[in-house]
Amino acid sequence: MSLLYALSEIRIPLLNTLLSVVSFLGSEVFLLLAMALCFWCYDKRLAYRLSFSFIIAGTLGHLLKVIFHMPSPVIRDSSFKPVDGIFRSKTTLSFPSMRSLGIGCISITALMKESRIWAKIIAVIFLILVPFSQLYLGLDTLLDIGFGLIIAIVVTILVNKYMDNTATDRTQYLKFMFILLIFPVVLLCVSLALFYNEVIAYDNMLEAVKSSGIFSALIISWYFESTYINFSERCDRWWLQLIKIVLGLAIVFGLNAGFKALFGLFGEYFWAGDFLRYFLITGFIFGAYPIFIKQFLSARHI
């Protein structure tokens, strides 16, 4: 906590705003959007590598969070104050830091698989700034951030090494899908068991449930897209890529609002609705939308 107190002494409004934005770059929402854009328009194999790393690392992170049940700095020390307006009552657990874990998966994947120097430089900058923003804002301790980064680095390296050996072997895809599905299923079962045994609060359980929905849909969508759809993310029309992004994001945000309203009819504590909402949105991004892109937004149709 001493480091957090020291950083709180140098806070200024401009840095508060800038680092709040930087912190968002490690969030699960940003990570999902970044994977979507990479998948639709840039390099879907790179997006898959990032997805698999985050599925395994994210599962481990959430499991550690609900098992160790370590409260965030502001709860550990009631006299400590985070940046005004940044702390939410739902953010009660901070070990390990999921935002440091998320940006770690992105950055290490980019450092391992991107050949462009500018991309590697940006990856290193994000790898430094996002964890620092968590410290500066008072959301995580150095221990939280350290474990988040360690999990991301180790898992991302292992996943990429494994995929280097199996990426072209389609006979292994079905087996790989079922192996990966173990992670979100375990995460869902453990988080629900801890909640119903009154070990963790509803909000902490809900974060794990949402992630299990995202992870499950990613895995299933990867298998069906790679096996049956196999769309091309590349295009020789820049404006066509722009249409893909704008249309895709518009549908994603529309689906999110629609499903949130629909499942909200079942009550505030209908956790299955949040699982389904994130499962269906992720399934659209990586499963349904590629079919539409292949049929109507590929360069051969222009």
Give the DSSP per-residue string, 96-163: S-HHHHHHHHHHHHHHHH---HHHHHHHHHHHHHHHHHHHHHTS--HHHHHHHHHHHHHHHHHHHHHH
pLDDT > 70: percent of the chain: 94
- Exposed, middle or buried by CB within 10 Å (0-12, 13-18, 19+), for 175? exposed
Higher-pLDDT residue of 119, 302: 119
Q: What is the pLDDT of residue 23?
A: 86
pLDDT value for 29? 82
Report CA-CA distances (Å) from 138 to 30, 85, 94, 125.
20, 11, 11, 20
Please, which pLDDT band fits residue 285 given cuts at 50, 70 and 90? very high
Rounded to an integer, the average pLDDT of 48-60 is 90
Residue scoring higher pLDDT (169 or 231): 231
Tokens of 228: 């049956």
Is it the case that residue 145 has pLDDT exceeding 90? yes
pLDDT at 166: 66
Least confident range from 79-93, 165-179, 225-239, 274-288: namely 79-93
pLDDT at 301 exceeding the cut of 60: no
Mean pLDDT of 123-128: 92
Mean pLDDT of 120-128: 92
Q: How far apart (Å, rounded) are the C-alpha atoms in residues 60 and 155?
A: 10
Work out the average pLDDT over 17-30: 85
Residue 90 has pLDDT above 50, yes or no: no
Is pLDDT of 22 > 80? yes
Which residue is associated with the tokens 């480091």?
3
Given a cut of 70, whether residue 85 has pLDDT beyond it is no
DSSP per-residue letters across 7-67:
HHTT--HHHHHHHHHHHHTTSHHHHHHHHHHIIIII-HHHHHHHHHHHHHHHHHHHHHHHH
- As a whole number, the mean pLDDT across the chain is 86
Would the pLDDT of 21 be above 60? yes
Of 90, 47, 278, the residue nearest 184 (C-alpha): 278
pTM, rounded to two decimals: 0.85
Predicted confidence band at 137 (pLDDT cuts at 50, 70, 90)?
confident
Q: Is the dihedral of CA 223, 227, 229, 231 positive or negative?
A: positive
What percent of the chain has pLDDT above 90?
38
The residues that bridge with 93 in the sheet, in sequence order, are: 71
> What pLDDT was estimated at residue 73?
81
